[in-house]
Amino acid sequence: MVTQSEEKNTQLHDEAILNNNGVDPLDMHNYRIEHLPKREKTGFEKWLAQIGNPLALVIFVLFAFFIDLPFLQNIDPDTIVSESARVQFDEIGAQAFSKSNAYMLAIFLAAIILWMTQALPNYQTSLILIITLVLTGVLPEQLAYAQLGHRVMWLNIMSFILASMLVATGVAKRFALWFILRFGKNAGAIFISFILINTLLSAFISATTAKAAILLPIFMVIAAIYGARQGEGKNNFGRSIVLQNLLNINLGAGAFVTGSGANLLAAALIGGAIGGYVYFSDWLFAMFPVMVGLMFVGYILALKVFFPLKPEERLPQIKGGMKRLEDEYRKLGKMDFNEVKAVIIFLAILGLWATDRLHGISATAVAFVGGIVALLPRIGIVKWNDVDIPWHLLLFSAGAYTLGAGFGITDLPSLSVNAFFDSIGIGDETEFWKLYVLLTGVMVFSALVFQSKTMRAMIFVPIAIGVASRFGFPIVSLALPVAFMIEHVYVLPFNSKPAALLYETDMYSLSNAFRFGITMMVIGWVLNIIMGETWFRFLGITPDGVFGIF
């Protein structure tokens, strides 16, 4: 005889099949970041962390005090590109200027070692390099400490306030759930829905990890509905939905200059080099169609080539599974006044950002006003305690900006680039397209090695600026296409925080991620080259008559 309790348990089991650990795969709370296991460092990563500190110290001492590089000795002032470096040269003299460059190189190499080996937390490395630049006399205290007040740093802070507004009010989650329930009627429509959701969220949320945290519970529940399980229960639907979201989280960030802190850093470096600004609209018009196009290419390749769905994988495997999402959406209740205000602020700021070239108000100033309105007592939407500002990331960024200030005052990138091309015998007549292909290729494939987008921007954008200056091309023509390659960080788990986070879902293997990711990376690079000959030339980024590939 079946009891009432047994009938209830059977009903619950039918509605949500429990996995091997007795965990309900349709419970969104099981996929919150704090519930995912923390990835342990591999033996190689532990070894890197152990050697990082002594290696960085040795490299610093050698390059600061013992190794004299010829191109840093007896610097010809006519070869100095940076205006601030010219002023510095005149003020302190040739010998002191050469020593300042030696210190700058030593600090830069030591910082790169510490950042790559993760021997110290990123923010701690930044604090060390800031004070070292001061103590060695490379930067005056006022200039070094002022980088935390850089206008892009303020844009980062205000963006986090505005993103917290969307998260705290539930607008971001409401939009994602509504969109899936409204348009995700079948497997194909679900994937396309996430492309559009990622694109819209990327316009306003400058932290890719925050987007991953918002979307992960939603697409993991959908994966469970379509029969995907972690571990041994992997299927192509699960592989595809997680890896496509990883791809789209990063590509979506690449569509907007505010999409990530690394984009903002690159734009600040380029703006400083040209004595102007890289506008939100400049980046938007150049990269929005490219990145959205790449998302749809990824969608087609995932479903047709890498993870084709079996007929049964195209149908929900758990009866009533979508009802769980409806219940989650229903729990949010009716849209309240705070959510309406958040949407209005969001749309107003996005509109002002997109038209910044017309009205001339900087993205930072616009975000400043939006942040103030969001925090106003009674009128605003969020309280300060509701704001999630990752200060460790901001301190890391401040260190990167301080390095940029050091590069500017020493002109080390241009001096190094000139010395390199002189040593390999490449003259000033080198064709533009060869430099374009080389620099963008180095930038995109460096993501396979480096763990930080900000670090890559800090290294390769100044190099592109130096190369453009040496060969007499507009700085924007090489530096901006290089910056457009920043967000291709989805191939290996350590390439970005979202990649590391989504790898912990155990819905795909390392080989799955590599095959799909490296293919998309190559396509992204090739498309960037094609855009340099066509779309970027039309926008005035690359110059006419110098590309000559086709």
The one-letter code for the residue type at 131 is I
Confirm whether 301 is domain-assigned. Answer: no
Is the pLDDT at 74 greater than 60, yes or no?
yes
Residue 274 inside a domain? The answer is no
In tens, the pLDDT along 235-275 reads 888 899 999 999 999 999 999 998 888 898 898 888 878 87
Distance CA 55, CA 114 (A): 9
pLDDT (0 to 100) of residue 319: 65
Spatial contact of 124 and 396, defined as CB atoms under 8 Å apart: no
The total domain count for the chain is 2
| Residue 354 and residue 193 in contact, taking contact as beta carbons nearer than 8 Å | no
The whole-model pTM stands at 0.76
- For residues 83 and 124, membership in a common domain is answered with yes
Residues 59 and 131 in one domain: yes
Tell me if 103 is assigned to some domain: yes
pLDDT on residue 347: 84
* Radius of gyration in angstroms for the set of CA atoms belonging to the chain, rounded to a whole number: 25
Average pLDDT over residues 277-282: 86
Q: Please state, in angstroms and rounded to a whole number, the distance separating the CA atoms of residues 321 and 181.
A: 12
Instruction: State residue 207's pLDDT score.
Output: 72
Confidence of residue 18 (pLDDT cuts 50, 70, 90): very low
Mean pLDDT of 303-324: 77
One domain for residues 160 and 116? no
Assess if residue 81 is contained within a domain: yes
Do 65 and 126 reside in the same domain of the chain? yes
* pLDDT (mean) for 364-368: 84
For the ranges 40-49, 340-349, 514-523, the maximum mean pLDDT occurs at 514-523
Exposure on the CB side of residue 170, measured as CA atoms within 13 A: 15
Q: Is the pLDDT of residue 34 over 60?
A: no
Per-residue HEC secondary structure of 461-492 comes to HHHHHHHHHHHCCCHHHHHHHHHCCCCCCCCC
For residue 347, the enclosing domain spans 154-169+334-389
Q: Is residue 84 part of a domain?
A: yes
Determine, yes or no, domain membership for 373. Answer: yes
Most trustworthy range by pLDDT among 122-131, 209-218, 332-341: 122-131
Judged against a pLDDT cut of 80, whether residue 351 lies above it is answered with: yes
**Of 389, 406, 423, which residue constitutes the final position of a domain?**
389
62, 113: one domain = yes
Residue 250: what pLDDT? 92
Residues 66 and 127 in one domain: yes
Distance of CA 163 to the CA centre of its chain: 15
Q: How far apart are CA 227 and CA 207, in angstroms?
A: 30
Overall average pLDDT of the 402-408 stretch: 82
Is it the case that residue 399 has pLDDT exceeding 90?
Answer: no
Whether residue 437 has pLDDT greater than 90: yes
The answer to whether residues 144 and 79 belong to one domain is: yes
**Distance, CA of 420 to CA of 443 (rounded, Å):** 17
Residue 127: name the closest of 461, 403, 413 by CA. 403
Q: Is the pLDDT of residue 7 over 60?
A: no
pLDDT value at residue 16: 43
